[in-house]
Amino acid sequence: MKRAGNRSEMPWVALFTAPWLLSFAVFLAYPMYLAFRTSFLQVNFLEPEKAKFVGFGNIVQVISDAVFWRSLFNVIYNQAIFISLSFVIALFLAVMLFEIRRGAAFFRTVYFLPIITSVTVAIIIFNNLTNTNGPIQSLLVSAGLLNEPVNWKFTQWLPMPILALFNSWKWFGIQMIILLGGLAGINEAIVEAAKVDGAGWWRRLFSILIPQLKPQIVFVLTMNLINGLQMFSEVFLVFDLEGGPYHAGLTPVLYLYKTGFKDMQMGYASAIGIVLAVIIFALTNLQLKLANRG
């Protein structure tokens, strides 16, 4: 009877999964196939009929491209600051909201507001606030913390830390909600028993709450890494396609966009995408192994 029931349900399973499978094939699988195939070609975007097969030549060129490695260093530098800052803020606020009872819903809403703000609008406002004529730098100069306004977009090492601050403000709310969901699943009897045994707030945090949050922490850190390596909108709206002087604001995806749609070298752009995908896969697996070790 079970087999007959399962067979009768198969048409419904196919019906409800078909839209997802179709969108996966059209918008993900097929573009990935095209990118992989194009990475073996030397082809101009405007003259596809003159495509020339170069084998792994594009991949080798990407691996030896100093500009690509500079762009990769930029996002890793950015993510080292962003992940450290946003994760600490998100964890601290999640624990605070878990501990308090009154007003928690209001504060959750307030902290989540940056997530629903358009990245385009937010980065334009942030850029106006932090430029040389903006109120933030004027306040720092008047307080004596700066001798003169600094055009951070034209320095060698400031763009990525500044953008990390912006991203921390923009995305800490979603991390907080994920961690708060993990905290809601913890057995309160364990926490109460720790209080009865005299465990202080810090002891409960590091001995009970954080160990219980391991799945959520691993998920948050992994998604931060993947999204960070694909950073595009922020730098595209603030810098030129070169990433500013010294390529200080250049990211791999911005470099891919410039190569494909400005230089019209779609084969080399596809190779950049393939190499970046391999790097993301390798770093993600390394992070998962380190997080799950022991």
pLDDT for 60 equals 94
User: What pLDDT is stored for residue 116 in this prediction?
Assistant: 87
Q: What pLDDT score was predicted for residue 244?
A: 87
CA-CA distance, 188 to 192, in Å (whole number)? 6
> What structural domains does the chain harbor?
65-292 (1.10.3720.10)
pLDDT tens over the chain, length 294 residues: 455 556 667 788 888 888 888 998 998 899 899 889 999 999 887 888 888 999 899 999 999 999 999 999 999 999 999 988 998 999 999 888 888 877 778 888 888 888 888 888 999 999 899 988 889 999 989 988 888 888 898 888 899 999 999 999 999 999 999 999 888 888 878 888 888 888 887 888 888 888 888 888 888 888 888 888 889 999 999 998 999 888 999 999 999 999 999 989 999 999 999 999 999 999 888 888 877 775
**Among candidates 36, 292, 266, 238, which has minimal Cα distance to 122?**
238
Q: Quick one: which of 281, 274, 227 has its CA closest to 37? A: 274
What is d(CA 74, CA 62) in angstroms, rounded to the nearest whole number? 16
